[in-house]
Amino acid sequence: MKCPVDNQPMLVIEYEGIEIDYCAACGGIWLDEGELELLVGAEETDAIALSGGVPAPAPGEKARRCPACRKKMRKEATAGPDSVTYDRCPRGHGLWFDQGELGRVVESGAAPGAGGRVAAFFRELFPADGAATREEGPS
Ligand SMILES: [Zn+2]
Ligand SMILES: [Zn+2]
């Protein structure tokens, strides 16, 4: 599968049996439909309102094309105070997150269980990607 941003071949990262497509060039992540639910759990996905995402208010980003069908993806945003804009294939192939976005989504919806574990996984995977998300104090 090719990255919708820069057309580079994406790496497949396996996490607990879920295949995550990752672009090393731009740090973006593609999740096939349903994989987010597998990653963070259905309840957490509902909690961050991702399954029914709301249209992004001000699409400042360029439209991406679905890496599976090349259709232009829709901009959507998560609910909640720390809203994240992501892209969704109109044909339901999956979701695209630019660098750092998935980590923020996971953390914003993080329940103490799966969400937190996945958030830790992403911090480990993308250590450089902390500018916007790292808020742990020195304690
Ligand atoms: Zn890329
Ligand atoms: Zn598609």
- Digit-coded pLDDT (tens) for 77-113: 887 777 888 899 999 999 999 988 888 887 766 545 5
| 64: in domain | yes
Q: Quote the number of domains for the chain.
A: 1
pTM over 0.85: no
DSSP 41-58: -HHHHHHTT-TT-EEPSS
Q: How far is the CA of 135 from the centre of ligand 2 (A)?
A: 35
Percentage of the residues of the chain whose pLDDT score is greater than 70: 71
| Type and span of the H or E element at 38 | helix 35-40
What token pair was written down for 120?
């830790």
Top-confidence residue, 56 or 103: 103
Look up the domain containing 82 and give its range: 11-125
Neighbours of ion ligand 1 (CB under 5 A): 3, 5-6, 23, 25-26, 28
Give, as one character, the DSSP assignment of residue 72. Answer: B
Task: Give the number of the ligand closest to the Cα of residue 67.
Answer: 2
Neighbours of ion ligand 2 (CB under 5 A): 66, 68-69, 89, 91, 93
| 74: in domain | yes
